[in-house]
Amino acid sequence: MVLSLGGRWEQDVNGIEGKATLVTGGGSGIGLGTATRFASDGAHVTICGRTEEKLARACEQIRSVAPGETTVQYVVADVTSEDQVRAALDRSAEPTGGLDILFCCAGGAMHLGPIADADADAVRATVELNLIGTFLCIKHAVPFMGGGGSIVGMSSGAGHFPHRHLWAYGMAKAGIEMLVRYAAEELAESGIRVNAVQPGIIDDELMAFITAGGPLFDDYMAQTPISRPGTVTEVANAVRFLAGPEAAWITGECLAVDGGHHLRRGANYGLLLDGS
């Protein structure tokens, strides 16, 4: 929030303590890491995802760092279902009566390979999960952010520059980046900021099949100036910055958190297929 006092604009730097937050895809990886960071700063945290057992375990981890009065809860929801998204937002608003921060982290790739051989259903599913899921979350978050708020989308280096054979995922992530810009311009008058992060290769359970080593990992490292994989904590810190009052004059930004990978070429996912 930004306050006007005596004709001057001043930043509210009270952090996110007591704020209501929702993290989609919060059961693992970057989503879980960010939800944990929000809770450690005293925010009320709701996570959602499709697997209840995973969400329950994640909440136990988040509660271990949360201050005494902080609410940590989950709701099972598929972000491609408008009704389920609306229900998740209803639940996230319970602690305070509204929503202050939304991190649209849910995503994934259902197609990998050449365009000419693509399965159209897998491509549609990739777009639905990443782009349409993010759109639905933003759409239904707006009524809960009556006093303003912050939305952070999850893009990827693949949405910013080509990664060979990862085009369906990259196309969907590129759509998120443009959605973020449109939403930032439109929603600023309502006091809502909208930004995104663009992680590079992250050393978490989702990317373990790459970071364990092999030609694709070597290719990533050759194209990353800070030549190591990133950590969940590093991305969570970037999301926390964009979500909080420290970034009160930042909107419509897509922030690379990738060790400089965007300065070179994208990774060649053909190395997972046939070595091409």
The pLDDT assigned to 132 comes to 98
pLDDT digits (tens, 9 = 90+) for 119-132: 999 999 999 999 99
Where are the domains positioned within the chain?
16-257
The pLDDT assigned to 274 comes to 73
The pLDDT assigned to 236 comes to 98
Mean pLDDT of the chain: 95
The pLDDT assigned to 2 comes to 44
HSE toward the beta carbon, residue 144, CA cutoff 13 A: 29
* Average pLDDT of the segment spanning 247-276: 94
State yes or no: pLDDT of 14 exceeds 80. no
* Average pLDDT of the segment spanning 85-98: 98
The pLDDT assigned to 13 comes to 53
Residue 220's contacts (CB-CB under 8 Å, 6 or more residues apart) are 200, 201, 210, 229, 261, 267
CA–CA distance, 67 with 97 (Å, rounded to integer):
20
What percent of the chain is modeled with pLDDT above 90? 93
CA–CA distance, 261 with 228 (Å, rounded to integer):
10
With cut-offs at 50, 70 and 90, classify the pLDDT of residue 276: low
pLDDT digits (tens, 9 = 90+) for 15-53: 999 999 999 999 999 999 999 999 999 999 999 999 999
Question: Is 188 strand, coil or helix?
Answer: helix
Q: What is the largest CA-CA distance in the chain?
A: 65
> Where would I find the beta strands (DSSP E) of the chain?
2-5, 8-11, 20-24, 44-49, 72-76, 101-104, 149-154, 192-199, 254-257
State yes or no: pLDDT of 233 exceeds 70. yes
State yes or no: pLDDT of 269 exceeds 60. yes
CA–CA distance, 46 with 58 (Å, rounded to integer):
11
State yes or no: pLDDT of 159 exceeds 50. yes
- Tell the residue number behind the tokens 């940590």, with chain if given: 72
Select the more confidently predicted residue: 104 or 273: 104
Q: Which CATH superfamily is domain 16-257 in?
A: NAD(P)-binding Rossmann-like Domain (3.40.50.720)
Active site positions, annotated: 169
pLDDT digits (tens, 9 = 90+) for 95-120: 999 999 999 999 999 999 999 999 99
State yes or no: pLDDT of 73 exceeds 90. yes
The pLDDT assigned to 8 comes to 44
> Would you say 261 and 220 are in contact if contact means Cβ atoms under 8 Å apart?
yes
